[in-house]
């Protein structure tokens, strides 16, 4: 981190108080992944545009996988290119059909939303949807895919890269998904769909969990441009989709969009977070939770957003009282007005909100060092 004197590395730790057993569960399973006694560790990263861009999460997960001696063994895919939105560079999508996007921050309400915070839908009677996953070491080992869709979908979905007698299919009504298993050698995913009734309901896709047979990190990037704690509460299918994904760690990186509101209330902000925590803790008591504070940023490129201070103080208090893990992103960045230093160093964009690819990679490196104690990083 030499050359970045504005960073406050003394704050680059995971802060915990009281009962720290919940985050310790994650560290215990990470050690077991290193030792080869568990196959997979599933991480869900929830946030706004910082997460949707993909570089922060991808770099973090690559670091975790490399130091565990495994790699990435599963990715949650959403057809960003098909609906003309930015997304992670770790995979691409294409389709022969015409698709529309509905998200938790859109002007038109969505019928139902899940972990991705958005859905892609098509009214075409038939077509295909394809994904190519990078990097190369991950591509050639995809053995299963779970497609999350509307429970009562009027369409039949089938993989196009294998003959029907080579495919195993299971429909999970409770989670609203269909799971397919394929023969070895799959380097991409293509699903063909056809309408099987005469109704007018569209095909609605929430996302696809693609998995290999290898040990490693499974990652679900749940980033939506403009997302806030308010919009996340609208994603009412998270609970049932989590039952299929089975997260080991959920990282919450929300707040930048919450504090844009001039009527921002720290109490309401924490109450919304607490509602999310209650849902997860009730049904997934062993799932670890990690919160990141609101990053330093400006409003309209020139006004320091002082509301971040109130949001972060409230989050510090909340996580301390509940014994939850917290990474002080705001403090590590250098505190109030530090985003200007990040911009001068080529780590942040001109809007003084978003980071550059270099900045997100630095963010991921800092978070990795905070998350994994030195003892677990020794080979």
Over the stretch 235-293, which tens digit does the pLDDT of each residue have? 999 999 999 999 999 999 999 999 999 999 999 999 999 999 998 989 999 999 999 99
Least-confidence region, from 72-76, 126-130, 158-162: 158-162
Specify the pLDDT at position 18.
62
Q: Provide the pLDDT for residue 109.
A: 77
Phi first, then psi: what are they for 125, rounded to 5°?
-75, -20
How high does pLDDT run on average in the chain? 92
**Is 232 in contact with 195 (CB distance < 8 Å)?**
no
Q: Give pLDDT, residue 201.
A: 87
Domain range list for the chain: 1-71+216-373, 78-213
* Residue-level pLDDT at 164: 78
Nearest to 215 by CA among 38, 58, 378, 51: 38
Token reading at 256: 């930048």
What local confidence, expressed as pLDDT, does residue 141 receive?
Answer: 80
Q: What is the average pLDDT across 85-96?
A: 95
Tell me what the mean pLDDT of segment 36-51 comes to.
96
Statement: residue 107 has pLDDT above 80? no
pLDDT for residue 110:
87
Contact in structure between 269 and 228 (CB atoms under 8 Å): no
CB atoms within 10 A of CB 6: 16
Per residue in 325-339, pLDDT (tens digit) is: 999 999 999 999 999
Distance CA 254, CA 252 (A): 6
What mean pLDDT is predicted for residues 31-47? 95
Whether residue 63 has pLDDT greater than 90? yes
Angle at 159 between CA 156 and CA 163, to 5 degrees: 110
Average pLDDT (7-23) is 85
Characterize 122-154 residue by residue with b for buried, 16 or more Cβ atoms within 10 angstroms of its Cβ, and e for exposed: bebeebebbbebeeeebeebbbbbbbbbbeebb
pLDDT of residue 175: 82
Q: What percent of the chain has pLDDT over 70?
A: 96
Q: What is the 3-state secondary structure (H, E, C) of the chain?
A: CCCCCCCCHHHCCEECCCCCHHHHHHHHHHHHHHHCCCCEEEEEEEECHHHHCCHHHHHHHHHHHHHHCCCEEEEEECCCCCCCCCCCCCEEEEECCCCEEEECCCCCCCCCCCCCCEEEEECCCEEEEEEEECCHHHHCCEEEEEEEECCCCCEEEEECCCCHHHCEEEEECCCCEEEEEEEEEECCEEEEEEECCCCCCCEEEEEEEEEECCCEEEEEEEECCCCCHHHHCCCCCHHHHHHHHCCCEEEEECCCCHHHCCCCCHHHHHHHHHHHHHHHHHHCCCCEEEEECCCCCEECCCEECCHHHHHHHHHHHHHHHHCCEEECHHHHHCCCCHHHHHHHCCCECCCCCCECHHHHHHHHHHHHHHHCCHHHHCC
For the segment 343-362, what is each residue's pLDDT rounded down to a tens digit? 999 999 999 999 999 999 99
CA distance 43 to 68: 14
Which CATH code is given to the segment(s) 78-213?
A: 2.60.120.260
Given this model, what pLDDT does residue 1 score?
65
pLDDT surpasses 60 at 32: yes
Backbone angles phi, psi at 139, to 5 degrees: -55, -45
Over residues 134-145, mean pLDDT: 72
Give me the pLDDT at residue 108, please. Answer: 77
Is the pLDDT assigned to residue 375 strictly greater than 90? no
Q: How does residue 153 score in pLDDT terms, banded at 50, 70 and 90?
A: confident
- Rounded mean pLDDT, 63-73: 91
| Beta-bridge partner residues of 147 | 178, 208
pLDDT at residue 352, as a whole number: 97
Q: Which two tokens stand for residue 94?
A: 């294409």
Model confidence over 182-195: pLDDT tens digits? 887 777 899 999 99
**What pairs with residue 189 in β-bridges?**
131
Burial of 55 (0-12, 13-18, 19+ CB in 10 A): buried
Give the separation between CA 274 and CA 16, rounded to whole angstroms: 17
Question: For residue 52, which of 74, 80, 72 has the smallest C-alpha distance?
Answer: 80
Write out the two tokens for 253: 């990186």
Is the pLDDT confidence value at 316 over 90?
yes
Amino acid 191: pLDDT: 94
Most distant CA pair in the chain, distance: 64
**Domain 1-71+216-373: which CATH number of 3.40.50.720, 3.40.50.300, 3.40.50.1110, 3.40.50.150:** 3.40.50.1110
| pTM as predicted | 0.95
Provide the pLDDT confidence category of residue 51 given band limits of 50, 70 and 90: very high
Which residues face 223 on adjacent strands?
47
- pLDDT value at position 227? 96
C-alpha 43, offset from chain centre: 8
Please report the pLDDT score of residue 71 as a whole number.
Answer: 87
**What is residue 377's predicted lDDT score, i.e. its pLDDT?**
65
């Amino acid at each position: 981190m030499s050359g970045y004197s504005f960073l406050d590395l003394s704050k680059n730790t995971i802060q915990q108080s009281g009962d720290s057993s919940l985050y310790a569960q994650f560290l215990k399973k990470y050690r077991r992944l290193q030792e080869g006694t568990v196959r997979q560790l599933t991480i869900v990263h929830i946030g706004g545009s910082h997460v949707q861009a993909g570089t922060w999460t991808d770099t973090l997960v690559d670091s975790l996988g490399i130091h565990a001696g495994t790699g990435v063994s599963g990715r949650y895919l959403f057809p960003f290119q098909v609906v003309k939105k930015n997304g992670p560079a770790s995979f691409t999508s294409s389709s022969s059909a015409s698709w529309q996007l509905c998200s938790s921050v859109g002007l038109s309400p969505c019928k139902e939303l899940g972990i991705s915070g958005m859905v892609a839908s098509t009214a075409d009677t038939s077509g295909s949807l394809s994904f190519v996953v990078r990097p190369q070491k991950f591509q050639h080992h995809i053995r299963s895919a779970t497609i999350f869709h509307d429970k009562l979908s009027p369409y039949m979905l089938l993989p196009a890269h294998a003959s029907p007698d080579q495919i195993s299919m299971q429909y999970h009504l409770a989670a609203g998904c269909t799971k397919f298993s394929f023969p070895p050698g799959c380097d991409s995913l293509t699903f063909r769909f056809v309408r099987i009734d005469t109704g007018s309901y569209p095909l609605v896709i929430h996302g696809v969990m693609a998995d290999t047979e290898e040990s490693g990190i499974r990652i679900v990037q749940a980033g939506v441009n403009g997302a806030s704690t308010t919009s996340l509460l609208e994603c009412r299918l998270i609970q049932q989709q989590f039952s299929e994904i089975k997260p080991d760690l959920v990282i919450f990186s929300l707040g930048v969009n919450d504090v844009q509101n001039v009527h921002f209330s720290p109490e309401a902000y924490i109450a919304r977070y607490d509602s999310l925590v209650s849902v997860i803790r009730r049904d997934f008591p062993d799932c670890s939770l990690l919160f990141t504070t609101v990053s330093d940023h400006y409003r309209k490129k020139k006004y320091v957003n002082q509301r971040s201070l109130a949001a972060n103080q409230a989050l510090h208090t909340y996580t301390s009282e509940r014994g939850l893990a917290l990474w002080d992103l705001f403090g590590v960045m250098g505190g109030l007005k530090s985003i200007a230093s990040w911009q001068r160093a080529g780590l942040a964009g001109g809007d003084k909100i978003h980071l550059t690819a270099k900045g997100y990679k630095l963010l991921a490196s800092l978070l990795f060092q905070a998350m994994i104690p030195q003892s677990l990083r020794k080979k």
